[in-house]
Amino acid sequence: EDTTQDIIFVTCTAPVNIAVVKYWGKRDEDLILPINSSLSVTLHQDQLKSTTTVACSARFKEDRIWLNGKEENINQPRLQSCLREIRRLVRKRRSNRDPGADVLSLSHKVHICSENNFPTAAGLASSAAGYACLVYTLSRLLSVEGELSTIARQGSGSACRSMYGGFVQWHMGMRADGKDSVAEQVEPESHWPELRVLVLVVSAERKPVGSTAGMQTSVDTSSLLKHRAEAVVPGRMDEMIQAIRKRDFSTFGELTMKDSNQFHATCLDTYPPIFYLNDVSRRVIGLVHRYNRHYRETRVAYTFDAGPNAVIYTLQPYVSEFVQVVKHFFPPETNGEELFYQVIKLCCE
Ligand code: 2P0
């Protein structure tokens, strides 16, 4: 019996995305439907990314998953949703009598290996890249096509945006079944070649309150969040898309900083409050505003997710000077608490 021929496997990578209009709050916990639309920039493939290999064989007795080398429970509901939805697409192909679907039996089990090249759960969008990568890799392995962003969304909301490169919006959608809660590319990465992203790693520690639990408490307790979703985000999405289309950095940067600040304000308005920023984060905010004030122009913008690490958006001509300024105010590795930095470029030079 030949035991080598009956395993097939596929490896793919998916990059992290960093939101400039933030997603925070669900209207449906199971389907992962948000209370507002959001918009992000997907980083470059070779930077912060997840890599996933999925193998499929008639010999596998059950589905299994390993994350960063350690086997995890496959029966997590979100993982099961992604597997179920992908298999639903395989069945759909089959019923359409597509001969390609017969290559793999639906009863075949999968083994999944996934790893990140950056700290998990430090507010660096690890679940976004992870689920986007899982869904994409499964789709390649099983040769299925369809609205894959709605499947990635059911793994982790922000994952749907990592299904596309460049500037991506996640439409909140109106439907109860979530079919219109999809990601869409606004512009490809090539649209704005001067744009750069710096990640200032303040802490690689796990965050105290995970995003899923945090946003649930915010939805339950914060009236500011409700105001934000209904009265602020719709207009801000339009303005942000216009700023991106026009490559207007000053508007893009200002909206990005205001949106980050409002997201963290909703965290403070949550009861009990959630603190993701720390003293180093706040010093970075101060430094960016002083830098921009010096030039009387928004040349640099910060944004913070569910953790203290800063992500900086800027333009190519300002990168080296701003990095020097950061090095001056945050001398690297003088002690464990200090900021060390990593320069992540969004586009190829
Ligand atoms: C975002 N964040 O838009 C926002 C900004 C964190 C702050 O999406 O429960 O990990 O898996 O849907 O996607 C983090 O939330 O939450 C997030 P789930 P997710 O990037």
What is 10-49 written as a DSSP string?
A: EEEEEE-EEEEE----EEETTTTEESS-EEEEE--TTSSE
Nearest CA to ligand 1 atom 12: 157
Query: Distance from the CA of 10 to the center of ligand 1, in angstroms?
Result: 27
The mean-pLDDT minimum among 46-60, 86-100, 226-240 falls in: 86-100
Q: Identify the pLDDT of residue 333.
A: 59
Cross-strand partners of 38 = 170
Please report the atom of ligand 1 found closest to the CA of residue 156: 11
Helix (H, G, I), strand (E, B) or coil at 9: strand
Distance, CA of 309 to CA of 199 (rounded, Å)? 7
- pLDDT score, position 105: 59
Kindly state the percentage of the chain with pLDDT values over 90.
Answer: 74
Q: What does the pLDDT look like over 117-146, one tens digit per residue?
A: 876 544 566 789 999 999 999 999 998 989
The question of ipTM being above 0.95 is answered as yes
Query: For all residues of the chain together, what is the average pLDDT?
Result: 89
* pLDDT score recorded for residue 48: 85
So what CATH class is 7-190?
alpha beta
Identity of the residue numbered 108? H
Strand, coil or helix: 55: strand
Give the mean model confidence (pLDDT) for residues 33-57.
Answer: 92
Closest atom, ligand 1, to C-alpha of 305: 7
What confidence score (pLDDT) does residue 235 get? 98
Ligand 1 atom 8, closest CA: 158
| 259, 305, 309: residue to mutate for ligand 1 pocket, most atoms within 8 A of CB | 305
Question: Residue ranges of the domains in the chain?
Answer: 7-190, 195-329
Residues within 6 Å of ligand 1 by CB: 19, 22-24, 32, 38, 127-128, 156-158, 211-212, 305-306
First to last CA, the chain: 51
- Would you state the pLDDT for residue 75? 97
pLDDT band at 290 (very low <50, low <70, confident <90, very high): very high
C-alpha 49 to ligand 1 mean position (Å): 16
Angle subtended at Cα 168 by Cα 35 and Cα 299, rounded to the nearest 5 degrees: 105
Q: Which architecture characterizes domain 195-329 according to CATH?
A: 2-Layer Sandwich (3.30)
How far is the centre of ligand 1, averaged over its atoms, from the C-alpha of 1 (Å)? 47
Res 207: pLDDT: 66
**Burial class for 71, CB neighbours closer than 10 Å (0-12, 13-18, 19+):** exposed
CA of 211 to the centre of ligand 1 (A): 6
Sheet with 183-187, edge to edge strand ranges? 17-21, 38-42, 166-170, 183-187
Query: Token match 């409002």: residue?
Result: 262
Index of the ligand 1 atom closest to the CA of residue 131: 11
Same fold, 7-190 and 195-329: no
CA of 206 to the centre of ligand 1 (A): 15
Tell me, in angstroms, the distance from the centre of ligand 1 to residue 126's CA.
Answer: 10
Say if residue 343's pLDDT is above 70.
no
Mean pLDDT of 30-47: 92
Residue with the larger pLDDT of the pair 125 and 58: 58
- Does the pLDDT at position 206 exceed 80? no
**Spatial strand order in the sheet of 300-304:** 195-200, 310-315, 300-304
Is the pLDDT assigned to residue 71 strictly greater than 80? yes
